[in-house]
Chains A and B, each alone.
Chain A
């Protein structure tokens, strides 16, 4: 079976200014203009500009998800953007280790890898936060993003990376377009390892799904009920796990066979096993 080595990783970014360094770094080309601007490259990196706020982030995720309604593969999701914090220096990058929505009270805990440097709690607010109470950082999208992606994806495939753009001594009013671009360039060093880790996780999680699809494609002419499809996939996975791919391929290539005959044949052949 041929492995599919490329899986999609989707960036969700609030503003074009925040997106620009990522678009340049990953050589992304715009392929959708409306209702959201969406960019992509040839290696599965995609970026959607959501607009500001949790609800827009949520809508952008759902839009991106629907773009792939025909896909059977799992994808990685990364929200990148600016955030405020009481004391952290401007340009400090971090991964969110806890995301809370001030509006709904909902809390999300992104999965952290070994040696994850710089993690912070993040509170998503509806309006720019100027009092910087507490030790957490503040943004306007992460909770909406995380909630939407969690509906269809494993937590281990979702990350939120932020860079500090304002703090107690440099208020949100000092943020300029140039500053945003300069700050976002700093996130690239954080984004790269996250992308790399997500790709590895996607390879593990999608392996079985790729096999299912390849096997189903080989017996397209045979009508399988939902229950037969599940049984078929399970049998094919067992052949693969036992290192009997060639035998499986040979059986699936047999023509003029009914679904019942196919399943019976696979089951009988599997029973002849050695450990």
Chain B
């Protein structure tokens, strides 16, 4: 799973750190000062590291709960995000994290108590509901057996019902959720691309079939679930491919019980994009025509109306109230 474990000197004796470390008895354990010595140094290659990433156990300082980027997520209150982890176990070629970070190593911030304090302060400071996204800088559930994210963070939201948690994931690691009663203010949001895109660009991600299957189990158990169709990557027979995906999903799930469904295109800051192109010069995806708007790069819609067509198609499956465009 990891090539090595780096541990910040300050936290090396913490119980959570010891437990994680002891789960991997054969891995080299290397003590470092601050995680940035490894994660942020110059002259690293994300692509090479992604073949053998290490786990870095660290303590996060400063603002642990941040305002969500504009246009991110659904309406229903002030929006925030928090990242207990940096980087994702999956290797999606379109992922902006490849351009955002110099390192492909996973950083797990283990000072969960500090996260709890700041999340609860944030919830208290908001009038009415506030929304908290997890899974912006990582996949929230994919490393659950190591991080025990659910064990800790679900309790925070269970006891703070005006804080709405969206767990963004592509993982099928939902055992912890299925083994307990659902929490009304927690939403499990699963991301999907078309089968063609998924097979081509999402290395290591569970199959669409498996993800649909766990969503169904979660829904049957009473968990609120949401579907995120992003990033939408233009391809031949795009509409047909998405029709297949929509059929597969909405025939398996109770559409009326869905929390929300969203659509988002492939989009990232120009600087990230340029870094990724350097990492994968032979990748056809990054050789395509692009457009730039407000410093954000997106793929040029060569057909001109693909996005609109997909949106129209999606609206034939779900009500307008449940749908939003993530842009």
Contact = CB atoms under 8 A, between A and B. Distances in A.
Interface stretch (B27-35, B109-117, B243-251, B307-315): B27-35
B38 A273 contact: no
Interface in A234-275: 234, 237-243, 270-271, 273-275
For the complex of A and B, 3 pairs with smallest distance between CB atoms: A208-B281, A241-B287, A238-B287
Interface size class of B (residues with CB under 8 A): 20 to 34
Interface in A137-158: 150, 153-156
Given A109-B41, A241-B286, A273-B288, 7 more contacts: A97-B4, A111-B49, A154-B43, A155-B41, A155-B45, A273-B302, A275-B236
11 contacts: A109-B30, A109-B41, A111-B49, A113-B51, A114-B52, A119-B4, A153-B43, A238-B287, A240-B281, A240-B282, A275-B288
Main secondary structure of the interface of B (DSSP, over half): loop
Contacts of B54: 112
Nearest to A114: B52
B48 interface: yes
A112 B3 contact: yes
A241 B30 contact: no
B282 A241 contact: yes
B220 interface: no
Nearest to B284: A241
Contacts of B33: 107
B176 interface: no
A207 interface: yes
A172 interface: no
Interface of A: 97-98, 107, 109, 111-114, 116, 119, 121, 150, 153-156, 201, 204-205, 207-208, 211, 234, 237-243, 270-271, 273-275
Nearest to B54: A112
Interface string B1-26: 00110100000000000000000000
Contact of B283 (A114, A211, A241): A241
A107 B36 CA distance: 12
Given A114-B3, A241-B287, A275-B236, A107 B37 contact: yes
Given A112-B3, A241-B287, A205 B48 contact: yes
A246 B31 CA distance: 51
Contact of B287 (A154, A156, A237): A237
Which of A240, A242, A275 counts the most chain B CB atoms within 10 A? A275
A112 B54 CA distance: 8
Nearest to A237: B281
B289 A155 contact: no
A242 B287 contact: yes
B3 A116 contact: yes
A156 B38 contact: no
A234 B37 CA distance: 32
A109 B32 contact: yes
Contacts of A119: 4, 28
B209 interface: no
Contacts of A114: 3, 51-52
B306 to A, nearest CB: 11
Nearest to A109: B38
A226 B118 CA distance: 49
Contact of A97 (B30, B47, B236, B281): B30
A275 B281 contact: no
A154 B281 contact: no
A274 B235 CA distance: 9
B44 interface: yes
B323 interface: no
Contacts of B272: none
A271 B289 contact: yes
A155, A211, A270, A273 pick with most chain B CB within 10 angstroms? A155
B96 interface: no
A121 B9 CA distance: 14
B281 A207 contact: yes
A208 B282 contact: yes
Question: In this complex, which of A111, A116, A234 has the most chain B Cβ atoms within 10 angstroms of its Cβ?
Answer: A111
A202 B301 CA distance: 35
B284 A211 contact: no
Given A113-B52, A273-B288, A241 B43 contact: no
B325 interface: no
Contact of A109 (B37, B287, B302): B37
A237 B285 CA distance: 12
B234 interface: yes
Contacts of B47: 204
Contacts of B287: 237-242, 270
Given A211-B281, A241-B284, A241-B286, A113 B37 contact: no
B286 A121 contact: no
Interface in B270-312: 277-278, 281-284, 286-289, 302
Contacts of A274: 236
A112 B26 CA distance: 14
Contacts of A111: 44, 48-49, 52
A270 B48 contact: no
Interface string B42-66: 0111011101101000000000000
